[in-house]
Structure 1
């Protein structure tokens, strides 16, 4: 199991092709996941994208590397944006439990806020957001 293993899902009231277009924009990746050096591993069109995460050079996640993914799953009148981030210490680096917990929380919060903001942008009239039950308290 990776040292940092984030799995999160958010339902967005928008067509998968619309959400995929926003996910495909590299400027959004840098804003959503600051500090992660993402290189496309697999472009999946309307189903999302998978990235290789190069060794992080700054911030709390320094020395971590692995993979990330946004998988877009059509559901009802919208799409569930599933986010996966799996990181391990790069060779020569270690990760203490407290730092691992901090990195996990920071990236989970960045992602949740980004996807909620994306939902607000694509469906501004909606007043509630659906999220995976394990992360319903993220604000």
Structure 2
């Protein structure tokens, strides 16, 4: 699970997650199938491949931006050791924050903290 504020509207964040090619880039070891497209509120997928379960990106409008919530509810296939599970959980946590902060840097395009968005 991860939460990150992005100073852009939910529609902008939703567009960044929309292409399936983006999913393959962000999560190359997972097979994702959308089971619920919530538009500007995000996506929900079933997960296969290296993990089995579900994943969700929920986009919550907050102030002049979006709170990006990321949930991965999945297990390693087979019967992994407790150590392997802990390692995988930590690896996925760091990867999730990398996705969020990468999107933040790209989508905010250098907008300084505390500065209102440019009006169209």
Normalising to structure 2: TM-score of the pair?
0.86
The two structures, once aligned, show a CA RMSD in angstroms of 1.5
- Residues 3-31 of structure 1 show CA distances to partners (whole Å, capped at 9, x for unaligned) of xxxx1111101110010011112122122
Unaligned runs of 5+ in 2: 114-120
1:99 aligns with 2:84: yes
Q: 2:56 aligns with which of 50, 61, 69?
A: 69
What is the SS of the residue equivalent to 2:59?
A: strand
What is the SS of the residue equivalent to 1:21?
A: helix
Q: 1:88 aligns with which of 67, 75, 85?
A: 75
Give the whole-Å Cα distance in 2 for the aligned partners of 1:105 and 1:89.
13
What is the SS of the residue equivalent to 2:45?
A: strand
What is the SS of the residue equivalent to 2:95?
A: helix
For the Cα contact (< 8 Å) 2:76–2:85, is it kept in 1?
no
Equivalences, count? 113
Q: After the TM superposition, which residues 1-139 of structure 1 pair with which residues of structure 2 at under 5 Å, given as runs?
A: 7-54=1-48, 56=49, 62=50, 64-90=51-77, 93-126=78-111
Aligned CA distance change for structure 1 residues 94 and 117 (closer, same or farther; 3 Å): same
What is the SS of the residue equivalent to 1:66?
A: strand
For the Cα contact (< 8 Å) 1:74–1:80, is it kept in 2?
yes
